[in-house]
Chain A
Amino acid sequence: MKVLHKYLRIFILLFFTIFALTIIQAQSSSDLRINEILVINDSNYIDDFGQRNAWIEIFNTAYNNVNIAGMYLTDDPNNPQKYRIPKGDPITVIQPRNYLVFFADNHTTRGILHLNFDLSNSNYVGLFDVNGTTLIDEIRFPKLESDISYGRINDGAEQWTVLQKTTPKSNNFTGVMYNSGDEFVKIDPYGLGMTFVAMSVVFLSLILLYLVFKNTRRLYTLNLKRLFSKEMNMPENEGLHDISGEVNAAISMALYLYRNELHDHEETVLTIKKVARSYSPWSSKIYGLRTSHR
């Protein structure tokens, strides 16, 4: 029975580990987004072969690497496994908050980034997970003019628009970017708002701690047996927890001194300690002495 329980525990542990790993995998692939599409490429982004073709930009929204290998790209919602992105090539690993551009030129002989379809007869692009059925992201795009792309307003954002400036392998937002600090200082140039907000948060954190520990002692000293007992007025151990640190220190000191004094009068006590002598050839006398006399 014990053995059965042991195996059961191992099985449950393994099950949850695999389940957790599956979730992590799913979270990684679900971080990918179709970010920008260009259909008619007359004077736009050129591939490694010097050709201009339609392209699809994939964006990794995560703060960790995501490998797109094994996933599927398609221009047909009824055929989600149209192009399987091959495994084993390092270029399929998309860096955190970075991009990968595929060329929809129907020329798979030009490398793994060249798809087996073009976008001339379709207004759909879909990205499916490695199982070929789980949809990661899809987009139906309007009819686009030459060298005009369709993309998300910001990288990974929900809203799509026709982009006047195409941005393959770069941020879709081409306006002036401010970090949160710059924006904060615009509305709070003297730092008063920051002082007020930040001090409030610091106080809030420590007030919460204060409130918890103000009442923890009561919880800790709560005598549940006594609380639910019919005999409500049991005077046992009353005031035991109110002994101050100073009193405890005085008691400890008295005990310490008492024991020290005891020791002074017991000089006949013999303490035998075993001295460990670990052997080492470096400390051996045999090697330290000359074998031949002079």
Chain B
Amino acid sequence: MENSANYITFVTDHLYQFYSYTSFANFTFGHFIMICIGLFFIYLAISKEYEPLLLVPIGFGIIVGNIAFKPGFQVGIYETGSVFNYLYFGVLQGIYPPLIFLGIGAMTDFSALISNPKLMLIGAAAQLGIFGAYAIALLLGFSPAEAGSIGIIGGADGPTAIFLSSKLAPDLLGAIAISAYSYMALVPVIQPPVMRLLTTKKERLIRMKPPRAVSKTEKIMFPIIGLLLTAFIVPSALSLLGMLFFGNLLKESTVTKRLADTAKGPLIDIVTILIGLTVGASTQATTFLTVKSVGIFVIGAVSFIIATFGGVMFVKILNLFLKEGNKMNPLIGNAGVSAVPDSARVSQVVGLQYDKTNHLLMHAMGPNVAGVIGSAVAAGILLGFLS
């Protein structure tokens, strides 16, 4: 009788111990909210097709990261030795973003930019969003390094945002990455009202000269000269710029097709999976749901608006100095942020609403790819000044 009582106590104790290990015992309201956010991301990706390649891994990563567990079993992403911790290493050490840039370089056609180099300046002007957000973050009491990391959201460049925040403010990496990717997905929602507000109907109807044909030599020279000019000025962005232009040279040289195909295919896909999943998983409710995260989301939205403002206004100012016939449509100004090709697509869609035969896509791709270079340069400057 006593033996059976002992046995029942033993089983009950172990059952209770087992229960304490389950997610039900460790689940909090914060975890619930984060799982809902993860599900919302997956919904946006699948149903609305907003950046599905990014939002599906991130959304699922958020769910994975918010399965509550008892610490100490090498499960969580922040626990040394866990599988997710090893995968997260590539984010923390800034390894994944340059690899993604390699793929971006291999799939980007800089012809629009080479045929009309003026468009590069729009890519520079739209970086105003980064520094506007930096100033606001400073006002809200963030440290300079944190403010720099938050500011980079305005570049609308997920890999760059992850790269910079891993160096300057690793604690805020999850919030910054989620914010950057969320607003990149919401580019078609955020940008059009700002574009309409800042332009007149006459300006929206401006037709731009068709881009000229670009020779193969020019395309090959672009990544080499581009790297030399930009990296010499901002060597701190070398890992991003070097990989971007290297990937582009692989593509444009045409003799390394296999390498270019790998860079823009399997490699970028693998890295996107790893970066998306681990960044999502890094948003554990215990570390993510803070007032700072809310602040980052608010500043992120404002930074996109400022970036769009910077790009559109710059084109309007530039038009004051251009002859009739050479003027640019200010609706391509928004494409100065580096959300490729979403923001260029926004230019096209908004342009077509006012003139069904005025196709702005190719013109907008110029500032769009210039924005990628511009945001990498801006990240290098912030890294140089604030680290």
Contacts and interface: CB of A to CB of B under 8 A. Distances in A.
Interface stretch (B116-124, B176-184, B322-330): B116-124
A202 interface: yes
Given A184-B386, A209-B229, A245 B135 contact: no
A206 interface: yes
A207 B121 contact: yes
A233 B143 CA distance: 66
A204 B135 CA distance: 21
Given A181-B144, A199-B124, A206-B121, A189 B377 contact: no
Interface stretch (A106-114, A212-220, A262-270): A212-220
A194 B131 contact: yes
A245 B213 contact: yes
Interface stretch (B6-14, B188-196, B218-226): B218-226
A192 B135 contact: yes
B230 A205 contact: yes
Interface string B75-114: 0000000000000000000000000000000000001011
Contacts, number: 139
A180 interface: yes
A210 B120 CA distance: 7
A181 B143 contact: yes
Interface string B366-387: 0000100110011001100111
A201 interface: yes
Contacts of A205: 124, 229-230, 233-234, 373-374, 377
Interface string A185-207: 10001111011011101111111
A242 interface: yes
Interface in B345-381: 362, 370, 373-374, 377-378, 381
Q: Which applies to chain B's interface (DSSP): helix, strand, loop or mixed?
A: helix
B319 interface: no
A204 B380 CA distance: 14
Interface residues of A, number: 39
B387 A202 contact: no
Given A191-B135, A243-B213, A184 B385 contact: yes
Contact of A213 (B124, B222, B386): B222
A213 B212 CA distance: 13
A246 B210 contact: yes
B212 A242 contact: yes
A203 B218 contact: no
Interface string A161-189: 00000000000000000011110110001
B210 A245 contact: yes
B136 to A, nearest CB: 8
Nearest to B375: A202
Given A205-B234, A216-B221, A243-B213, A198 B382 contact: yes
Contacts of B213: 241, 243-245, 248
A208 interface: yes
A242 B215 CA distance: 11
Nearest to B209: A244
A189 B117 contact: no
B147 interface: yes
Interface string A10-40: 0000000000000000000000000000000
B229 A202 contact: no
B221 A191 contact: no
A2 to B, nearest CB: 26
B332 to A, nearest CB: 15
A7 to B, nearest CB: 29
A211 B120 CA distance: 10
B284 interface: no
B138 A202 contact: no
Contacts of A181: 143-145, 148, 168, 385-387
Nearest to A189: B138
Contacts of A190: 135, 138-139
Scoring B117, B134, B139 by chain A CB atoms within 10 A of each residue's CB, the highest score goes to B117
A202 B134 CA distance: 15
A251 to B, nearest CB: 10
B225 A185 contact: no
A203 to B, nearest CB: 5
Contact of B377 (A201, A217, A246): A201
B344 to A, nearest CB: 16
A202 B386 contact: no
Given A185-B138, A198-B131, A245 B386 contact: no
B335 interface: no
Contact of A206 (B131, B209, B374): B374
15 contacts: A185-B138, A191-B138, A198-B130, A198-B381, A201-B377, A202-B381, A205-B234, A205-B374, A209-B117, A210-B120, A213-B113, A243-B213, A244-B209, A245-B115, A245-B214
Given A206-B120, A220-B215, 20 more contacts: A181-B385, A184-B385, A190-B135, A191-B135, A195-B134, A197-B385, A198-B385, A199-B128, A201-B377, A202-B127, A203-B124, A205-B234, A206-B121, A206-B374, A214-B117, A216-B218, A216-B221, A217-B218, A241-B212, A244-B210
9 tightest A-B CB contacts, nearest first: A181-B144, A191-B135, A181-B386, A195-B131, A213-B117, A244-B210, A206-B124, A210-B117, A185-B144
